[in-house]
Structure 1
Amino acid sequence: MALQRRTLHDGWRLTPVGGSGLGAVPPEVAAAPVPATVPGCVHTDLLAAGLIPDPYLDDNEARLAWIGRVDWRYETEFDHQPGESTVDLVCAGLDTVARVELNGTEVGTTANMHRTHRFGVSDLLTPGTNRLAVTFTSALDHAEAMRAHYGDRPHTNAHPYNLVRKMACNFGWDWGPDLVTAGIWRPLALESWRRARLASVRPLATVDGETGRVAVHVALQREDADPVLVRVRCDGQEFKATVTGESTVVTLEVPEPRLWWPRGYGEQHRYPLEVVLAQPDGTELDSWSGAVGFRSLALDTSPDEHGTSFRFVVNGKPVFARGANWIPDDCFPHRVDRERYARRFAQATAAGVNLLRVWGGGIYESDDFYDLADAQGILVWQDFLFACAAYPEEEPLRGEVAAEAREAVTRLAPHPSLVLWNGSNENLWGHEDWGWRERLGDRTWGLGYYTDLLPKIVAELDPTRPYCPSSPWSVSAGRHPNDPDHGCTHVWDVWNQRDYLGYLDYAPRFAAEFGFCGAPALSTLRRAVTDEPLTPRSPGVVRHNKAADGPAKLDRRLAEHFPVPAEFPAWHWATQLNQARAVRLGVQHFRAQAPRCAGTIVWQLNDCWPVISWSVVDGDGRLKPAWYALRDSYADRLVTFGERDGKLVLSAINDTDTPWEAPALLRRVSFDGSEEAQSSELSVPPRGVTRQEVPVGGSATDVFVADVPGSPRATWFSAPDLELRLPEARYSVESRTVAEGCELTVTAESLLVDLTLLADQVSESAVPDRALVTLLPGESVTFGVRGAPSADFSAVLHTANELARRA
């Protein structure tokens, strides 16, 4: 009999049963069991039942804090007819500290959101009705109680998330709410099997010259030692192995395989792979199916004249990483299905992104995430789940970390998109610079995980991929971990302490985190905040800004470029523009440092709720102006102004496999429209950068403009924003309806700087095709707007001119 799988997702009920917050449970919640959804969590169950308001709106996050302090019991009943099979209860995700009971008998306990748990239940099942219960202890109460066991360890934010293996950002972050969840967040099922089953399948694909090779590592769980047959099928071939033990490796070769490439470098070819476990007579016992991609992979950290490189090399070709950091797309991650992942991937690829870094304060994403990355050629940098804290290395946490890591590496190893295992986020840096060393004394803090346990697991289970102990990382333990001349760097003095022009002081080898804060789309913010009037300091706006000293920092960073508006509409537009300009300057400056700089990973692509943050796609999935800045800055071919050695330089970046030959028009244009122009022929080799010095002579009333076919327009103002004497924005607008929406043609009567259409303010579903357009007098641009064919958008056109002239 082949393995049979039956999900147990129906008929669940939810009841509060204990915890330090039990006394705060509203009577209507305590009155009767609440229908529960599996996969799901307590918050979404209570919301679906109409017993709580939406946690994402107004101040509901704080009003619902009691949920995270309560113990919750999930219960269901199911019919079963026992047979001769071995039966396991398989829990793919229990969040987090749980006791599992079947027919009143405890079958196991868990304390790790990031692991699958399997319990043998053959002897506990009875004919007919069976009762299954899962009781969740408050993860917050548990984490605080574990201080007595481990001792206190430094961590960011309010709660000791580092003392329990749970999604760290559930406990609040500088962009995320404090919503401590509990529930059965991934599928739960009964699996029935005979003789043997596939405990794991771990295919490791490599390329050796003209030959692709897959070593398929198969681990078995067995009832007996009788021989079984493992069949592996790939590329029309079948390989067989007779197994008497608990594991085997079947190696197959594919001559001259079609390679898997990152997007922009070639096709993403994958080979279907099937593993069948059978009895010697051919009767199937279990099966696994997936796909592999053949590609070589290296992380170049060789020393050079600048320091130490950090460069991904795929199939022998260096790849400039045009990346974005990925956080969980929802505080309640069971709500993120394949369709939602696909929308985010479409937004990422449309912005020119070729790498996503799965950040260590979140989760190992579902298989859909990595499958989409494989299909679309998005490289994945995968953090192990440690972020911004010191982690105990004692038991029981150490055992949980090891089991979790082994499962994650085994599950994700088949995916060709995965290019790096990273031990932690900022923890080496934190120990060096954040006062941890003095607070910790001789207590463990996670170093053994990052430099011993995790690299050993990767070396054992996935030797095909590189590993680094943390980000940032300077490649050598003897250096400061965030040395921009060595390895990967995080740039956070910009935003936290100083203006985005500070990016110009950096020439990192690889910028793994940098970013700037800005407001979400107005329709997103208005859905989440019902303040009347809405102001920059109204209560709901402040609550939806989790950054440390966030409101004041926004204004400080604005004041470095514009008079800070008091009225909300202008303030909202100003924060969005400031963020977009920061993203544009940082990305373009770093790209222009190639080949010294080999990659940028912007913080961050997405949000988990409606919030003022560093994301370029907001919590309702709307594109912020910063997304358009990122798209323009990640263009395959780009010209950009910058300063090198005190001189103004125009850099031309060609991130394609073909030479770029094009006419270049460089102009110095006065705000009144007069100009000086020079033409030249641009010639940039494949995957190359060329630079040319620009004659100086700019003033507070002119702008340098570079136009090259195939690149977004580049501009450079010689004076600081506060000194620019931008003219009043004057323009005419014509609108017409087209098949999918409308077109809005704007003709400039004066210089227009960063012309942007905030279309969602007229129609929530409206999406313009461009933003941040600079027009010279007499020039026109047409905005295509999807989703609102008859709307009048002329009132929501905005420019930097209007902000600069507020003084």
Structure 2
Amino acid sequence: MTHKQLALTDWEFRACGEEQWFPAVVPGTVHTDLLRNGLIPQPFYGKNEHELQWIDKKDWEYRTILQLDEDWQSLTVTELNFAGLDTYADVYVNNVHTLSADNMFLAWTVDVKDLLRTGENEIVVRFRSVVAEDLPKLEKLGYDLPAPNDQSELGGLEEKRISVFARKAPYHYGWDWGPRFLTSGIWREAVLTGRSAAVIADVYIRQDEVKQASARVTAIVEVDTPETWAGTLRITAEGQEWTREVTLEPGKGTAELELVINQPRLWWCNGLGAPELTTFRAELLENGAVLAGAEVKTGLREIKLIRKPDAKGASFKFELNGVPVFAKGANHIPNDSFITEVTEERYRYEIASAAASNMNMLRVWGGGFYEEEAFYRLCDEYGLLVWQDFMFACSMYPGDEAFLLNVQKEAAYNVKRLRNHPCIALWCGNNEIDSAWAQFEENKGWGWKEKLSAEIRETLWTAYEDIFHRILPEAVAAHHPGMEYWPSSPLRELTNDIDQHAVRIAGDGDVHYWGVWHGIEPFENYNVKVGRFMSEYGFQSFPELKSVLTYAEEKDMELESEVMLAHQKNGRGNQIIKEYMDIYLPEPKDFRSFLYMSQILQAEAMRMAIESHRRNKPYCMGTLYWQMNDCWPVASWAGMDYYGRWKALQYTARRSFKDVLLSVEAMDGEKLQVHAVSDLREALAGELVVRLHDFSGAVLKEWKQPVQLAADSSAVVFAVPVMELLAGYAAEQVVLVAALEAADGSLLERKEHYFAAAKELKLEQPALTVAEVPGSGGLSFTVSSDVLARGVYLTAEQEGIFSDNYFDLLPGEVKTVQFLRRGGVHEAAGAVAGGSAGLEAGGSAGLEAGGSAGLEAGGSAGLEAGGSAGLEAGGSAGAGAGVEAAATGTGVMNGAKAGAGATDFTPAVPQGLEVRSMADYVK
């Protein structure tokens, strides 16, 4: 026997100094282990976050007993491997200290051959409190390091912000959308391995040149051998085989083999082509027999970030296989405050939802963690590009030798871990630090440096440059050659003067625009605040009532209740939503209606932003809104809530990210323009139909004209003075509808445009009708209305999504919709320990009784012109559906296993189908 492996299971844990041990789950965290043992209440319920801050002040230890047979003694090398320890940990093998860990983002391996024996062996991992470990570092430093998102007060530390000292997920310390839970634990796999022969430690497929005709790559194989080894290295891929003879000295060494693949199957992002994946197998042959092997699945592609100077500054765009990519997507944050509760099925649900929303890029934001392998593998499979931040955000960091060395190890490890994934499009040094510090401009940025002495400022900027201008780019260059590194987001360019900082909309670099929301600027500013690449912008909303009821009771249903404020991490966030709502929307009749209206408000803000960015193509070549997802149930910027329930924003993003888009723009209220935007790789011919309707459906004016739309373009295809358009009609009583029809008459795209804010429109109460499509077996149904219905909202008792939702419906229009859900029997979060939750009686997803249309048995209706009964063309199979949230009895995480189970989404007959519109929610 030359190789053995044993997963470390059957763990138990306790607080250091206590006698009783409790069962533990590895991978896991101390918080989830406490919860499973009934030792703490639900962390996400009510204000329990505040009551659980004692956990991070204690030291915790985990223990397992290994039973080893005699075969282990015959192996030359025996190693204990931890893929992740969170964060300060000491490992003991049979009471002998063998390892000290100090970085959550590293894997740890230690030789334990001389410490193990046949029979029983004890492994103990002791975690030191990050609070106790890092408070002395702050005191020794003598001054505060900026870390505004560290919720130290909630943690009982007053203003002592220690998050910058630990290489630990920054969001664990709290953020403006997430709670403060400083976890500890064995958060990735723990394995004992042994060997007496060479093994393959790593395979890197370096893509030297990839073209349509051929791909030239180099297989770099790292071998770990206990003794000198001579033999054959064999690589196979796409039915081809390459070999070379190698001799390697004891220890770790590498062997390289150049490969050429003719007519390669190229990897494309969502919308541009199929994300073809190629499997490379590396084997070590000894006398013709396979000694060791490893496989890598990657995609052959050429990805570039093009920053070419032009008259307005410089471009910021990605090219994939020589084709320009308009990046469409969102910022991804961790899916859970307790990382180990995220199943592969939850990852698949998020990625499938992104693909079904016509996205082609996600940004892994720098305040979380380097994501799990499943996340990147699924992005590879679904064709989603990944903008990958290193894990630094909104803070200044220490610059001592030990810290810098730790960062250097972290960078090398994670770049090597992720470099084979074709989804990786960019490595970015940090989130918002360059613009927050604003080194070259006084009294700008976030006001950090102005509070510090010149000496301290110089010290911190030197540390910044060491990390983000030296260590991280060197790691990318060494371990992922050819991949672009961008020092900070946002950033204009490293000019070493005031032009460096992206604190304003500029003609180069990437932009985080927060004038809307933080700056309380009007939504209309999205039309003019457009940069070359919009990597952050956003607006908040509440999750739907069903989700709110998993953390709140009836008595908490007020905007400023203690529980609502505990689940609003952005200070004045709830009031900001209300202030904008007062401007744009009619007044909701109660708090439950406010939840719905907040989603309509958020969706409208993001629609305006996305459309503005897309119609400014090719000047602007990317739009990534903040944010895709949530890590707990909360009011936030997310398009999907913690349970995976699509908000109005997610449906709006799906519509706004379609390959072909119409966008109606009223220029200063004087001229109306219809823009047609195409991300297609071929030209498009069709007919544009523009109609002015009153709210009863009557056509007041009509224009028709042919349209020739070039590939990958944006153009104004219709223009008319607003005064001419509205002559004789009141702005608050009409709607303009622009429709683009293909040559065969099918509907490619349609867009409504209103001439007044929703609060000013003269809307009547619609009578909505839902009818089953004959012959569909209840899998397709139509929705229609007698008058204009805004924000039509479909709900069902089961978890799932609809092929469209939160849409406007004109009288006479027949909208065909399907309900899509995951396989298997499941329900969303119900009663929460310690409080009431779940659906209201009648299963109406929180809608008040009365006034809602039900499904007419046997009713008939036709498909809308050009409509599809299912997902639009280009949507990913299996994309989009509701996510299960586990029942929340004692010891079960509040929704922690949301998404577990089957992830194939298929049309289903909706139970308890109801439909409402905005009119049902206003006073």
In the superposition, the TM-score normalised over structure 1's length comes to: 0.93
Contact 1:207 1:294 survives alignment (8 Å): no
Distance (whole Å) between structure 1 residues aligned to residue 374 and residue 569 of structure 2:
30
SS across alignment from 1:227:
strand
Contact 1:650 1:694 in 2 (8 A): no
Residue 708 (structure 1) aligned with residue 740 (structure 2): yes
Q: Secondary structure at the match of 1:146?
A: helix
Of the structure 1 ranges 626-635 and 694-703, higher mean CA displacement relative to structure 2 is found in 694-703
What does residue 148 of structure 2 align with? 156
- Count of residue pairs brought into register by the alignment: 786
Matched, 1:220 2:223: yes
Q: Report the Cα offset of residue 774 of structure 1.
A: 2.0
Match of 1:774 among 800, 808, 826: 808
Could you tell me which residue of structure 2 aligns to residue 141 of structure 1? 132
Match of 1:436 among 433, 448, 456: 448
Alignment of 1:133-282 (within 5 A): 133-150=124-141, 151-157=143-149, 158=151, 159-209=161-211, 210-235=213-238, 236-245=240-249, 246-278=253-285, 280-282=286-288
- AA aligned opposite 1:253: V
Aligned-pair CA distance for 1:725: 3.0
Q: Is the 8 A contact 1:728 1:750 kept in 2?
A: yes
Alpha-carbon separation, structure 2, partners of 1:533 and 1:382:
39
What does 1:272-421 align with in structure 2 at a 5 Å threshold? 272-278=279-285, 280-282=286-288, 284-421=290-427
Cα distance in structure 2, aligned partners of 1:393 and 1:638: 48
- Matching of residue 130 in structure 1 with residue 136 in structure 2: no
1:21 corresponds to = none
Distance apart, 1:170 and its partner CA: 1.1
User: What percentage of aligned pairs have identical amino acids?
Assistant: 31
8 Å Cα contact 1:632/1:712 also seen in 2: no
> Does structure 2 retain, via aligned residues, the 8 Å contact 1:241–1:250?
no
Give the Cα–Cα distance (whole angstroms) in 2 for the partners of residues 416 and 184 of structure 1. 29
CA distance in 1, matches of 2:712, 2:383: 18
Mark the runs of 5 or more structure 2 residues left unpaired by the alignment: 152-160, 439-444, 742-746, 822-907
Q: For residues 792 and 258 of structure 1, what CA distance do their matches in structure 2 show? A: 46
- 1:719 is matched with 756
1:55–1:31 distance in 2 versus 1, CA, 3 Å: farther
Q: Is the CA contact (8 Å cut-off) linking 1:653 and 1:689 kept in structure 2?
A: yes
Once residues 735 and 241 of structure 1 are traced to their aligned partners in structure 2, the CA distance between those partners, rounded to angstroms, is 70
Match of 1:592 among 603, 615, 624: 615
Equivalent of 1:48 in 36, 40, 43: 36
What is the one-letter code of the residue matched to 1:473? L
Q: For residue 485 of structure 1, what is the aligned residue in structure 2?
A: 507
Give deviations 1:615-667, integer Å, cap 9, x for gaps: 11110111111100000000111111124586321111111122222221112
**Distance change (3 Å), C-alpha of 1:739 and 1:12:** farther
Which amino acid in structure 1 is aligned with residue 100 of structure 2? T
The 3 A distance-change label for structure 1 pair 418 and 766 is closer
Counterpart in 2 of 1:539?
562
1:668 match: 692
Q: 1:580 to 1:497 in 2, by over 3 A?
A: same
Higher RCO structure (Cα 8 Å, ≥6 apart): 2
**Residue pair 1:520, 1:612 contacting (<8 A) in 2 also:** yes
- Give the deviation of 1:329 after TM superposition: 0.9
Residue 134 to residue 572, structure 1, CA distance change in 2 (3 Å): same
How far apart in 1 are the matches of 2:235 and 2:820? 48
- Once the two structures are superposed, residues 90-129 of structure 1 have per-residue CA deviations (whole angstroms, 9 ceiling, x without a partner) of 1000011100000001001001111101001011111210
* CA pair 91-792 structure 1, distance change in 2 beyond 3 A: closer
* Superposition RMSD in Å: 2.2
Shift of 1:416: 1.2
1:694 maps to what in 2? 720
The one-letter code of the counterpart of 2:764 is: E
- Given the alignment of the two structures, is residue 506 of structure 1 paired with residue 529 of structure 2, yes or no? yes
**Partner SS, residue 730 of structure 1:** coil
Q: Which amino acid aligns with 2:501?
A: P
Residue 105 of structure 2 is aligned to residue 114 of structure 1: yes
Query: How far apart are 1:285 and its partner, in Å?
Result: 4.6
Structure 1 Cα separation of the partners of residues 248 and 595 of structure 2: 67
How far apart, in 2, do the equivalents of 1:463 and 1:784 lie? Answer: 46
Structure-1 residue corresponding to 2:83: 92
State the alpha-carbon separation in 2 of the partners of residues 740 and 89 from structure 1: 57
Counterpart-to-counterpart distance in 1, 2:365 and 2:309:
27
Which residue identity is paired with 1:572?
L
More deviation in 578-587 or 221-230?
A: 221-230
**Quick one: distance in 1 between partners of 2:243 and 2:671?**
63
Shift of 1:345: 1.1
| Preserved CA contact (<8 Å) 2:539 2:605 | yes
Distance 1:528 1:740 in 2: 37
Question: Residue by residue, what CA displacement relative to the aligned partner does 1:557-616 show, whole Å, maximum 9, x if unpaired?
Answer: 212213554611221111111011111111111101001110111111111111111111
1:472 aligns with 2:495: no
Task: Write the distance in 1 (CA, Å) between the matches of 2:230 and 2:819.
Answer: 64
Distance 1:735 1:144, change over 3 A: farther
Whether the 8 Å contact between 2:681 and 2:711 is mirrored in structure 1 is yes
Conserved? CA contact 1:635–1:711, under 8 Å: no
Q: Deviations over 1:495-526 (max 9, x none)?
A: 11223222112121110011110011211111
The residue type equivalent to 1:486 in the other structure is: D
Residue of 454, 461, 464 corresponding to 1:446: 464
SS in 2 for 1:708: strand
State the Cα distance separating 1:376 from its structure 2 match: 1.6
- 1:102 paired to 2:93: yes
Instruction: Give SS of 1:540's match.
Output: helix
CA contact (8 A) 1:741 1:785 kept: no
Greater Cα offset, 597-606 or 474-483: 474-483
CA distance in 1, matches of 2:748, 2:813: 17
Please give the secondary structure, in 2, of the residue aligned with 1:579. Answer: helix
- In structure 2, the residue matched to 1:521 is 544
| Cα distance in structure 2, aligned partners of 1:237 and 1:154 | 54
Tell me whether 35-44 or 260-269 shows the greater mean CA deviation. Answer: 260-269
Deviations 1:120-153 (A, max 9, x none): 1011111210000000111233233321355531
Distance 1:409 1:67, change over 3 A: same
Whole-angstrom CA distance in 2 between matches of 1:172 and 1:739: 48
Maintained 8 Å contact 2:230/2:245: no
- CA separation in 1, counterparts of 2:112 and 2:776? 59
SS at 1:191's partner residue?
A: strand
Distance of aligned partners of 1:643 and 1:734 in 2 relative to their CA distance in 1, 3 Å threshold: closer
1:73, distance to aligned residue in structure 2 (A): 0.3
Which of 647, 651, 658 is the aligned partner of 1:624? 647
SS of structure 2 residue aligned to 1:630: helix
Partner of 2:672: 648
Per the alignment, residue 83 of structure 1 pairs with: 74
Question: 1:25 corresponds to which residue?
Answer: none
CA shift, 1:314, in A, is 0.9
* Cα distance in 2 between the residues matched to 1:468 and 1:132: 42
Given that 1:204 and 1:464 are in contact with CA atoms closer than 8 Å, whether structure 2 keeps it comes out as no
Query: Cα distance 1:644–1:251, how it changes in 2: closer, same or farther (>3 A)?
Result: farther
2:231, 2:287 within 8 Å by CA — same for their partners in 1? no
**Correspondence for 1:463:** 481
**1:60, CA displacement in angstroms?**
1.5
In structure 2, what is the equivalent of residue 680 of structure 1?
A: 705
CA distance in 2, matches of 1:701, 1:132: 73
